[in-house]
A and B are shown apart, each in its own frame.
Chain A
Amino acid sequence: MTWGVVFFPGSNCDRDCVHVLRSVMGYPVVEVWHEDRSLDGIDALVLPGGFSYGDYLRSGAIAATAPVMRAVGELAARGAPVLGICNGFQILTEAGLLPGTLLHNASLRFRCHPAWVRVESDRTPFTAGLRPGMVLRMPVAHGEGAYFAPPAEVAALEEAGRVVFRYCDPLGRVTPEANPNGSVAGIAGVASDAGNVVGLMPHPERASEGLLGSIDGRRLFESVVGALVGAG
């Protein structure tokens, strides 16, 4: 299978994602420029973290208007796995491919440290190889990561099993102290209605090599491979 990683002006985790998918995991990776209009030949796509367009207007808002985003929407509509990490998550919400939005951290601080998340749903290609209740350790690094949606929408997401990850302590307990940014209901990641588009604030690509202290993040990418091979 072939992965794609989209480069926006101001992306800064693009090389990390390419490194993990290509050098660590051994998959072909297409480096996609934000002005590209075709994603032909790409089976699964990653929108990496960073500060596209300097976070001007709102995080992700300007990147969501990039030419490549029409193709991203079409790829998502065809059911291909699409993962937005950090700024990539913000871009997907601004593009209307994921619900809700990300506000300034309640603490006003840029939070950059290891975090733990509990897998809440295995009905996405990125968690198909995991089990609900599993705890993953991945770093967070963001200033605007407080997930927000109106209460009725959050309730609908919960009901539909579209909350994919929730911040927790190392034992899997969802507590206010484990929530690094004030996200409503401790939500760290959500999925689209069909489940194939997922966004999360923590960085799986920074937790994909033993040398970096955790390989939990790699399991998201491995899940996709398993899901696609299983489906194919």
Chain B
Amino acid sequence: MRAFRVTIMLKPGVLDAPGQAVERGLDALGYRVEQVRVGKVVEMILPEGERAGVDEICARFLANPLIETWTIEEIPAGAAP
């Protein structure tokens, strides 16, 4: 089996309301922050021989290609849950 970590972020220019909220919270705590963006991380373990690519899974379901981009990294299989 192989393990993957997918990081999903809103495309530049798409309003990131949660990112702005976190930015304001950090500002309220007195931290100086230029910009905050909030995304999602999904880890998954695929069985050996799974033909569907991780990229296809991202494009079709994990991310919305209209508003989001994603990056895929393979991680040690023991590191995923």
Contact = CB atoms under 8 A, between A and B. Distances in A.
B52 interface: no
Contact of A106 (B17, B62, B67): B17
Nearest to B68: A58
Interface in A43-86: 57-58, 61, 65
B14 A148 contact: yes
Q: Which of A100, A101, A105 has the most CB of B within 10 A?
A: A101
Contact of A61 (B14, B15, B18, B61): B61
A138 interface: no
Interface residues of A, number: 17
16 contacts: A57-B62, A58-B64, A94-B64, A100-B66, A101-B67, A103-B17, A103-B67, A104-B15, A104-B18, A105-B17, A108-B17, A108-B20, A146-B15, A148-B15, A148-B66, A149-B66
A107 B64 CA distance: 22
Interface residues of B, number: 12
Contacts of B20: 108
Interface of A: 57-58, 61, 65, 94, 100-101, 103-106, 108, 146, 148-150, 182
B21 A108 contact: yes
A65 B61 contact: yes
B66 A101 contact: yes
Contacts of A61: 61, 64
Nearest to B66: A101
Interface string B35-68: 0000010000000000000000000011010110
Contacts of A146: 15, 17
Contacts of A104: 15, 17-18
A176 to B, nearest CB: 14
